[in-house]
Structure 1
Amino acid sequence: MQGGYVYLLVLLLLILGSLVSAAIACSTEPANLTTFDVRDFGAISAGGNIDNSEAFLLAWNATCNSESESSTLIVPRRKFLVNPVVFGGPCKPKIINFLILGRLLAPNSPEAWKGLDQSQWLAFKRVSGLKVAGPGRINGRGKGWWDQSCRDHPGLKGCTVLAPTAVKFVSCNNSSIGDVHFVNSSQVHVLIEGCEGIHIENVLIEAPERSPNTDGIHISASRYVFVTNAIIATGDDCVSIGDHTSNIIVSYVKCGPGHGISIGSLGRSGNFVQVENIHVTQVYLQGTTNGARIKTWQAGKGYVRRVTFEHMFFRSVKNPIIIDQNYCSKRGACKELDTGVHISDVSFNNLYGTSSSQAAISLNCSRSVACTGVFLKSIYLRPAIQGQNLTSNCTNAHGIAFGVIQPEPCLQI
């Protein structure tokens, strides 16, 4: 009998061992992995000379189709050349982490986009819960595009107007970008389009002052977008806000060089513009062409309303406060129309610093569709050039001024 008990005990242990082994085997199935390194899918650094777009796509597909609640794609501390690629969703995990520890390099030549969408390099589409995080770098290597830009080389045969955005979020919700260094995008560095609930924070964006159309962050057809703790120095707007946007907050941004913080341009094609609930605060601008700006085309219709620019400091800014309802790509080339985008309930509050132009406040509103509800409060601007007198220029701008020390306001009641 004792031998029988021993036999049963051994058999039981064997069965338990088999079950444990099976459990371990199941737990290591690829579908249950939560972290995916691009090198495991064939990505090779090689000093940034080998295209890794296919390997990145394979790693993305594994990350996107993981059965876990949260999955992570890792770009290790190496240089990786990546040709234009779209990371598509929707994905199975609720959270997708795209962790950039190394450097992503765009192709040097525009030829790499032949037959592809020239508007994008790295695009994320229809992904919710996406978190793109650093501390790595995304280098657009845009000089090849700048050298054939129609803006800077209008006489060049085959010059291009459109160039790739470095990173696009298209139809992505509840997502974020943080702790990433963007440099030298061919055109816009970060584009948010058709999204809701996007956070952009702790980013550094750099491009030469003369680089064409290299906006830092452009927001279009999106709502509930928050930009905070950013340093942006580019050849165009630091942050630009396009059509069909609402509930946008831009805060704690250092801007310059560049074209400032801009709403617009809007309504160029005569469309119905809808922009509202925009709040820009705690912004430092140095050497920019504009400060707080709204720009619309006369052909447009619709509205820009409930906008606040506050707690901004200007250092040698050319147009610190500007509304231009008669925006035109070439000054004086657009004939006057009887249409316009209605700009209303706009507040400029607690704005200080120096202006490098004489007209420190310029409110150029439509003769047909006036600006209404403009509020100027606690403003003190001084000339960047000693001895120069600052002025305000207003056309059909209606509102109230309170505590404006300099320049003297020109609003109509």
Structure 2
Amino acid sequence: MGSVWTCCATLCLFLMLLSLVCITDARGGGGGWQPVFFDVTQFGAVADGKTDNSMAFWKAWNEACRWKGKSRILIPRGTYMVNSVIFRGPCQGPMVLLINGTLMAPSDPKLFMSDHWIGFQYVDGLVIKGGGTLDGQGLSAWSYNDCFTNSQCKPLPVTMRFDFVNNARIRHIRSINSKNSHFNIFACNNLNMSHIKISAPEFSPNTDGIHIGSSNNIKIAHSVIGTGDDCISMVSGSQNIDISDVSCGPGHGISIGSLGRSPYEEHVTGITIRNCTLNGTQNGVRIKTWAPSWPSVATDFKFENIVMSKVNNPIIIDQQYCPRPNCDENAQSEVQISNVTFKNIRGSSSSKVAVTLKCSRIVPCENITLVNINLSYDGPGGGPSSSFCSNVRGQTIGTQNPPSCL
């Protein structure tokens, strides 16, 4: 009998020691295997759709950021009003933000005249997921977007900004009705976005879905974007970008540019856009540069396996981009575009000119290749589609509908 009790006592002691080791591993510094959860409601967040929860969120982030180990910030189901907030690193360990609920931006102009709503800065190892929604309440702000006519216009907030963020994964998040761009990626490296749903009305101004600049090794996949501006836009310094399985529409298409507006712009290189669908958009796949412009380089682009449905400008290089009035039609761009392939692009164009390659007289486009293009005209009056080329050097391979002008 004594031996039985001895065995039981030994087993209980072993289990107690094991539990202490697990707790120490999870909560002690050493990068334990068990993550520690920081629930924003434990820091004062209230899911009533009215209370400003930005301070509660900020406190939860700071506590999690200081934890030496794996941190999980939990935003449970419910609707949380959040004013502008920035989450800064560096942190002691990898950070995971689990958004299960809906975050609602302020609608009072006194609270949103800034360049961000939710921002992340200087974080290495960030994951955002959870299936939640970011509601930018853009209808309250779109009337303030008068930058085309007012040089003193105030910035409107991007729904979610990533500045100097490395090794990040953003997935299974929905963004609706942003006041400005939905997501902005700047000076980031190795950032992946997937299973993102973005929506805003076609009339909403400057609501780019995902805007990328000065960033390297960015991947966007398996996402649906419908908005009032470019579904995805890439500007100076965008390098090694891979976009795949993205459905775009409404919107202005998937764009590289505009480029060349400022001096000393970083080069744009290594962009691949593949297996995407564009439906009813203003443009399809587009490269645009200002005229006149400062010198820069845009090279090594691949647009492959893309389906267009009633897209106004399915394939377009526009080196005389100037959206404002009183543009100089004789001005020329100094952005050198080269090594661009459009391959296996098919579907319909809502304009007769389905392929436009309008390049610069000063630096003509070099090594532009069209492979198996099949774009029919689907618009008033019917008839065949056509193409337009100027100052471009390149080649064609395989089917060419419309007939190539190269």
Normalised by the length of structure 2, the TM-score is: 0.90
Deviation larger for 333-342 or 367-376: 333-342
Instruction: Report the CA distance between 1:161 and its aligned residue.
Output: 5.5
Partner AA of 1:54 in structure 2: M
Which of 146, 150, 156 is equivalent to 2:146?
A: 150
Give, in angstroms, the shift of residue 406 of structure 1.
1.2
CA contact (8 A) 2:319 2:332 kept: no
Please say if residues 214 and 266 of structure 2, whose CA atoms lie closer than 8 Å, have aligned partners that are also in contact. Answer: no
2:109 alignment partner AA: P
Comparing 196-205 and 158-167, the one that deviates more: 158-167
Q: What is the CA distance between 1:25 and its match in structure 2? A: 12
SS of the equivalent of 1:373 reads strand
Q: Which residue of 2 aligns with 1:107?
A: 106
Equivalent residue, structure 2, for 1:130 = 126
Rate the CA distance shift 1:211–1:159 in 2: closer, same or farther, 3 A.
farther
- Deviation of the 1:320 alpha carbon: 0.2
Aligned residue for 2:300? 306
Displacement, 1:389? Answer: 2.8
Secondary structure of the structure 2 residue equivalent to 1:44: coil
Cα separation, 2, equivalents of 1:31 and 1:111: 43
CA distance in 1, matches of 2:83, 2:404: 52
Moved more, 379-388 or 361-370: 379-388
Structure-1 separation of matches of 2:23 and 2:278: 56
Show the counterpart of 1:98: 97
The letter for the 1-side match of 2:117 is W
Equivalent residue runs for 1:214-229 within 5 Å: 214-229=207-222
Match of 2:3 in 1: none
Alignment equivalent of 1:408, drawn from 389, 403, 406: 403
Query: Secondary structure of the residue that 1:330 maps to in structure 2?
Result: coil
For residues 249-308 of structure 1, the C-alpha deviation after alignment (integer angstroms, 9 at most, x for no partner) is 000000000001100011112443400000000010000000010001131211100000
Aligned to 1:322: 316
Amino acid at match of 1:409: S
Q: Deviations over 1:370-405 (max 9, x none)?
A: 001000010011111262331111110110012233
SS at match of 1:361: strand
Secondary structure, aligned partner of 2:64: helix
Q: Where does 1:209-288 land on structure 2 (aligned, <5 Å)?
A: 209-288=202-281
8 Å Cα contact 2:289/2:333 also seen in 1: no
1:189 to partner: Cα distance = 0.3
Asked if structure 2 preserves the Cα contact closer than 8 Å seen for 1:179 and 1:202, the reply is yes
Question: Could you say what secondary structure the match of 2:320 adopts?
Answer: coil
Q: Structure 1 residues 204 and 91, CA, compared in 2 at 3 Å: closer, same or farther?
A: same
- Equivalent position of 1:58 in the other structure: 59
> Contact 1:376/1:404 (CA < 8 Å) preserved in 2?
no
The change in CA–CA distance for 1:349 and 1:26 in structure 2 (over 3 A counts) is closer
- CA shift for structure 1 position 24: 8.8
Q: Are 2:345 and 1:351 aligned?
A: yes
The Cα offsets for residues 307-329 of structure 1, whole Å up to 9 and x where unpaired, read as 00010000000000000111112
Which shifted more, 330-339 or 259-268? 330-339
Aligned partners of 1:108, 1:265: CA distance in 2, in Å?
A: 30
Q: Mark the structure with the bigger radius of gyration.
A: 1
Matches within 5 A, 1:53-202: 53-68=54-69, 70-93=70-93, 95-113=94-112, 118-150=114-146, 154=149, 160=153, 162-202=155-195
Farther-moved stretch of structure 1 (32-41 vs 197-206): 32-41
Distance 2:313 2:265 in 1: 27
Decide whether aligned partners of structure 1 residues 144 and 160 sit closer, same or farther in structure 2, where only a CA change above 3 A counts: farther
Deviation at 1:160, TM superposition (A): 3.6
TM-score of the superposed pair, with normalisation by structure 1? 0.89
**Quick check: 2:168–2:190 contact (8 Å CA) kept in 1?**
yes
Q: Which amino acid aligns with 1:49?
A: K
Change (3 A) 1:391 1:28: closer
Decide whether the 8 Å contact of 2:282 with 2:311 is kept in 1: yes
TM-aligned CA distance change 1:175 to 1:25, over 3 Å:
closer
Find the partner of 2:384 among 386, 389, 394: 389
- Give the RMSD, CA atoms, in angstroms: 2.5
Q: For residue 88 of structure 2, what is the amino acid of its counterpart?
A: G
Is residue 2:379 matched to residue 1:380?
A: no
Percent of aligned pairs sharing the same letter: 38
Distance in 2, matches of 1:243 and 1:175, equals: 21
Do 1:89 and 1:125's aligned partners in 2 also have CA atoms closer than 8 Å?
yes
- For residues 72 and 230 of structure 2, what CA distance do their matches in structure 1 show? 32
Q: How far has the Cα of 1:182 moved from its partner?
A: 0.6
Aligned to 1:5: none
Cα separation, partners in 2 of 1:321 and 1:338, compared to 1, 3 Å: closer
Any unmatched runs of 5+ in structure 2?
1-5, 30-34
Deviation for aligned residue 1:339:
4.9
Give distance in 2, aligned partners of 1:26 and 1:199. 32
- Report the equivalent of 2:32: none
Cα offset, 1:335, TM superposition: 5.1
Gap change, CA 1:371 and 1:24, over 3 Å in 2: closer
